[in-house]
Structure 1
Amino acid sequence: MDVPLPRGLREEAHAPTFQAFLAQYPPSPGPLQLNRWICVDEGRPATRWGPQARNYQATLAFGDRVSTSSATACGPVAALTEMLYQRGIAVELTAFHQLPAGEHTATFLRGSDGGRSEWGLGLADDPTSSALHAVIACANRLLSS
């Protein structure tokens, strides 16, 4: 699979290719895991034009602690970062790149906890899952650095 890396990531990681990036930034579970994700009101009809807040729920595990979180936001990534913030895990997204990767979608994002910045990678069958996995990967890198 050959996926072009975003320029900032390519320079920082010293990884000219996607395969080199995977070798340097292997996906690892880390202490934080996303176990279940749903949009509670996915079938709700729109009541006005433009983006509208939706209600999301997730089952998040942090070490041995597993619990359900909820957030209302205009999109899944915003909802997940809010859920993490409610748990004291700050992830502010500063870069977001999403590309087709064969039959999958690759999401590269850079996040900051206010002191450090890290890249995260999500690779999944659909763009939303890919983005959510990238947020979790970035949060785990921030937690472990």
Structure 2
Amino acid sequence: MSFDAFQETYAPTSGPLRLGNWECTDAERPGGSLGPQARNYQATIAVGDRIGTSTASASGPIGALTEMLHARGIAVEVREFHQLPADGATATYVRGTDGFHESWAMGLADDATSSALRAIIACANRLYADCT
């Protein structure tokens, strides 16, 4: 399988679920607390032709995105997660489940967070395709 075919299969950029703007809304907060602290995130998410803003509080971007998806009725649980450098970018591979099906997916981006978010969206789209 060529890399283009691999990307088309495991890193689809089209599908019913799309992620638009993503941000941590409290990135400038003081670091006076010890231990992991929940952060607040906001995203623009499209499901089909419905586009809306979602918010979540979680320990990291992946937890926040899966919480946002769950609130929209889209179940994605990450079972395996791997990140690797790839020609100046980051490749993220995830194995996810919706409770009934499992699927592998990949995200590729210049930074680790964007790569992980793309992998989660790709996995959700692949899981959705398995249901139809």
After TM superposition, the score normalised by the length of structure 1 is 0.84
1:45 to 10, 30, 53: 30
**Alignment check: 8 A CA contact 1:46 1:52 kept:** no
The alpha-carbon deviation at position 112 of structure 1 amounts to 0.3
Q: Could you tell me how far 1:69 is from its partner in structure 2?
A: 0.2
CA distance in 1, matches of 2:34, 2:49: 42
1:10 maps to none
Runs of 5+ unmatched residues, structure 2: none
Displacement of 1:45: 1.2
1:64 aligns with 2:40: no
Give 2:92's aligned residue.
Answer: 107
> 1:39-62 CA deviation, whole Å, 9 max, x = no partner?
000011123122110000000001
The CA RMSD over aligned residues, in Å, is: 1.6
8 Å contact from structure 2 (residues 11, 119) kept in 1 = no
- 1:123 corresponds to: 108
Match of 1:31 in 2: 16
- The alpha carbon displacement at 1:28 in A equals 3.2
RCO higher in structure (CA 8 A, sep ≥6): 2
Runs of 4+ in 1 over 2 A off after TM superposition: 17-28
The unaligned stretches of length 5 or more in structure 1 are: 1-14
Could you tell me which residue of structure 1 aligns to residue 73 of structure 2? Answer: 88
Question: Structure 2 CA distance, aligned partners of 1:23 and 1:55?
Answer: 32
Number of matched pairs: 130
> Could you report, residue by residue, the CA deviation over 1:116-135 in whole angstroms, capped at 9, with x for unpaired residues?
00111100000000000000
Please give the alpha-carbon distance, in whole angstroms, between the structure 1 residues aligned to 2:43 and 2:81. 21
**CA shift for structure 1 position 27:** 2.4
